[in-house]
């Protein structure tokens, strides 16, 4: 089974269910309740609520980046799989016009609502990164151009000026400063700017990153965002913070950003993982152990280590996750491990896609190789220095 091209379910897709009463979809609190029930009931309810499996743009972006890394590991068939993924992207509901990508289902968060197809920072960055890595690995200028479109879109539409300074917004109409969105967006703009030779983009990205650096605590903790209700932090969003900031540091010599990256990486590795590698969800609360936290941790920690920011967690987290969060026969991922049970639901975007990134990052780490765009960004940063 080709996971990348097989439609799947998602823990956040409740509002796409055709049997969910329309009255529930009209009110924020009911929308959030529907999503939380879908996430927390540990049996697959997609068929019950009428939420159909689907291809998802963000998942395809992750699988595309993994294929780019596979070719560096000597897999001759990676190009064919990458071309199939690129051909499938227009079949998602994630839009993709002008380089902007979104989710295929309506989403209600603690801070806002956005409809299916609305461009958002996370989907745009992960699809854009897939194009960037694949374009560089397979020497496809047209794919690099697609990544450039995504960076241009973020710079044109999502870059905003706030009370704390410039930042990259999660969605086009949101004014909330969400640190992981800002740092991932800044990092992606910086990386693409480095690859295509746009130093102004790198400078803008550095300014946006400094807005979030100013919001980091002295001991390296980032809240999810600023404002009421966003003071919490968790494992995978912190990993996103580190990932984006790392890309900024690769593309531009910045002593302040580099120092913040190392402090935050130490804090993350110390507070979010158990002795065996189990990925704690929050700093003060271990459970549930989530596949997205585990997979993102392995991917990010491997690539941080390649640039000299060593957390030492990647191998033990990968071993623990493989034992507890993947099916021993099929290799498909499980959703979460709770204190008394394991939620064995399989979610394509949330689990399998990020696990593919984790496994590809481990392979590159074993080879002593960088992800394609990180190598290009590093060369640009050395040029600026």
Which residues contact residue 244 at a Cβ distance below 8 angstroms, ignoring those fewer than 6 apart?
180, 182, 183, 184, 185, 186, 187, 188, 209
Cβ–Cβ under 8 Å, residues 63 and 3: yes
Q: What pLDDT shows up at residue 74?
A: 87
Write out the DSSP string of 287-351: --EEHHHHHHHHHHHHHHHHTT---S-HHHHHHHHHHHSB-TTT-PBPSEE-SS-EE----IIII
Q: What pLDDT shows up at residue 378?
A: 75
Q: What pLDDT shows up at residue 298?
A: 98
Q: What pLDDT shows up at residue 383?
A: 55
Tell me the C-alpha distance between 340 and 312, whole Å: 28
Locate 156 and state its tokens.
């044109």
Q: How many CA atoms lie within 13 A of 86 on its CB side?
A: 24
H helices within the chain, ranges in order?
22-25, 28-40, 46-49, 57-72, 78-88, 121-137, 141-153, 179-196, 199-213, 235-251, 255-271, 291-306, 314-324, 353-367, 372-384
Q: What pLDDT shows up at residue 302?
A: 97
Q: What pLDDT shows up at residue 382?
A: 61
Q: What pLDDT shows up at residue 374?
A: 82
Locate 309 and state its tokens.
């920011």
Which residues of the chain, if any, have pLDDT below 50? 385
pLDDT in tens, 287-310: 999 999 999 999 999 999 998 999
Cβ–Cβ under 8 Å, residues 268 and 311: yes
Give all domains of the chain, ordered by start, each with its CATH number: 55-107+117-384 (1.50.10.10)
Q: What pLDDT shows up at residue 319?
A: 98
Among residues 269, 268, 270, 272, the alpha carbon closest in space to that of 280 is found at 272
Which residues contact residue 361 at a Cβ distance below 8 angstroms, ignoring those fewer than 6 apart?
69, 298, 299, 302, 303, 314, 371
314-324 vs 291-306: helix crossing angle, rounded to 10 = 150
- Total-model pTM: 0.96
pLDDT in tens, 38-75: 999 999 999 999 999 999 999 999 999 999 999 988 88
């Amino acid at each position: 089974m080709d996971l990348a091209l097989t439609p799947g379910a998602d823990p956040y897709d409740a509002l796409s269910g055709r049997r969910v009463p329309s009255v529930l979809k009209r009110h924020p609190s009911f929308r959030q309740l529907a999503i939380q029930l879908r996430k927390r009931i540990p049996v697959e309810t997609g068929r019950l609520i009428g939420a159909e499996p689907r291809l998802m743009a963000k998942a395809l972006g992750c699988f595309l980046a993994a294929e780019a890394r596979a070719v560096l590991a000597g897999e001759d068939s990676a190009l064919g799989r990458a071309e199939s993924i690129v051909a499938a992207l227009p079949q998602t509901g994630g839009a993709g016009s002008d380089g902007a990508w979104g989710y295929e289902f309506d989403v209600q968060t603690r801070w806002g609502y956005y409809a299916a197809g609305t461009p958002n920072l996370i989907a745009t960055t992960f699809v854009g990164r897939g194009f960037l890595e694949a374009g560089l690995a397979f020497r496809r200028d047209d794919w690099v151009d697609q990544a450039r479109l995504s960076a241009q879109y973020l710079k044109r539409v999502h870059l905003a000026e706030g009370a704390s300074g410039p930042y990259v917004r999660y969605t086009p109409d949101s004014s909330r400063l969400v640190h992981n969105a800002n740092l991932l967006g800044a990092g992606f703009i910086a990386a693409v700017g480095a690859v295509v030779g746009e130093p102004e983009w790198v400078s803008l990205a550095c300014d946006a990153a400094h807005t979030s650096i100013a919001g980091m605590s002295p001991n390296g903790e980032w809240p999810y965002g600023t404002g009421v209700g966003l003071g919490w932090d968790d494992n995978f969003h912190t990993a996103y913070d580190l990932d984006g900031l790392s890309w900024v540091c690769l593309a531009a010599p910045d002593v302040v950003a580099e120092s913040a990256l190392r402090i935050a990486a130490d804090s993350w590795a110390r507070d979010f993982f158990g002795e065996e590698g189990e990925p704690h969800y929050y700093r003060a609360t271990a459970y549930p152990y989530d596949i997205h936290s585990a997979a993102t941790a392995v991917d990010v920690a491997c690539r941080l280590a390649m640039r000299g920011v060593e957390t030492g967690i990647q191998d033990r987290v990968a071993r623990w996750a493989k034992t507890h969060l993947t099916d021993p026969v099929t290799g498909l991922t499980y959703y979460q491990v709770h204190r008394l049970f394991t939620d064995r639901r399989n979610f394509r975007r949330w689990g399998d896609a990020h696990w593919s990134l984790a496994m590809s990052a481990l392979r590159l780490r074993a080879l002593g190789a960088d992800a394609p765009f990180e190598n290009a960004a590093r060369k640009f940063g050395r040029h600026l220095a």
